[in-house]
Amino acid sequence: MNSEDQGIKKQKYSYEYTAREKRVNQAIALIKPDRVPVVSLADSFMTSISGLTEKEAMFDYDKFSRAWLDNTVKLNFDMAPSPQARISGQLLELMRVKTIKWPGQELGEDCQFQYVESEILKENEFDELLANPGDFTLRKILPHMSETLNPLSMTPFIHSFAYGYSTATSVPAILGAPPVMDMLKRLIQAGEESNRFNSMLGKLAQDLAAKGYPLTYGALGICPFDFVSDFLRGMRGSMLDLFKRAEKLKATIDLFTPVCIGNAMYMAQLNGSTRVFIPLHRGADGFMSNEQFRNFTGLA
157-183 per-position pLDDT tens digit: 666 666 656 666 777 777 788 999 999
Beta strands in 81-188, from DSSP E residues, in sequence order: 100-101, 114-115
Measured from the Cβ of residue 168, the count of other Cβ atoms closer than 10 Å reads 9
* 54 has a pLDDT exceeding 90: yes
Mean pLDDT of all residues in 250-267: 93
Measured from the Cβ of residue 181, the count of other Cβ atoms closer than 10 Å reads 12
pLDDT for 295 = 85
Percentage with pLDDT > 90 across the chain: 69
* 192 has a pLDDT exceeding 70: yes
- CA 105-111-115 angle, 5° bins: 70
User: Are 112 and 56 in contact, with CB atoms under 8 Å apart?
Assistant: no
Same structural domain, 297 and 221: yes
pLDDT for 1 = 58
β-pairing verdict for 219-220 and 276-277 = parallel
Weakest-pLDDT range from 8-17, 23-32, 77-86: 8-17
* 272 has a pLDDT exceeding 90: no
* 231 has a pLDDT exceeding 80: yes
In a domain, 24, yes or no: no
Question: E strand or H helix at 56, and its extent?
Answer: helix 54-59
Residue with the larger pLDDT of the pair 49 and 41: 49
**Which residues have C-beta within 8 Å of that of residue 122, sequence separation ≥ 6?**
none
Same structural domain, 233 and 300: yes
Domains held by the chain: number: 2
Same structural domain, 172 and 240: no
pLDDT for 156 = 74
* 246 has a pLDDT exceeding 60: yes
Average pLDDT, the chain: 89
In a domain, 177, yes or no: yes
In a domain, 209, yes or no: no
Same structural domain, 224 and 153: no
In terms of residue numbers, what domain contains 267? Answer: 217-300
In a domain, 246, yes or no: yes
Give residue 74's pLDDT band: very low, low, confident or very high (50, 70, 90).
Answer: very high
**In whole angstroms, what is the distance from residue 233 CA to residue 124 CA?**
11
Q: Is the dihedral of CA 82, 62, 89, 133 positive or negative?
A: negative
| SS3 label, residue 97 | strand
Question: Shortest CA distance to 277 belongs to which of 86, 26, 64, 82?
Answer: 82
In a domain, 81, yes or no: no
- CA 137-173-93 angle, 5° bins: 50
In a domain, 258, yes or no: yes
Distance of CA 30 to the CA centre of its chain: 28
pLDDT for 2 = 58
Q: Which of 183, 204, 232 is the last residue of a domain?
A: 183
User: Are 225 and 253 in contact, with CB atoms under 8 Å apart?
Assistant: yes
In a domain, 133, yes or no: yes
Tell me the three-class secondary structure of 194-253, residue by residue.
HHHHHHHHHHHHHHHHHCCCCECCCEECCCHHHHHHHHHHHHHHHHHHHHHCHHHHHHHH
pLDDT for 194 = 97
In a domain, 148, yes or no: yes
Mean pLDDT of all residues in 276-298: 84
Percentage with pLDDT > 70 across the chain: 92
In tens, the pLDDT along 107-154 reads 999 999 999 998 999 999 999 999 999 999 999 999 999 999 999 998
pLDDT for 6 = 56
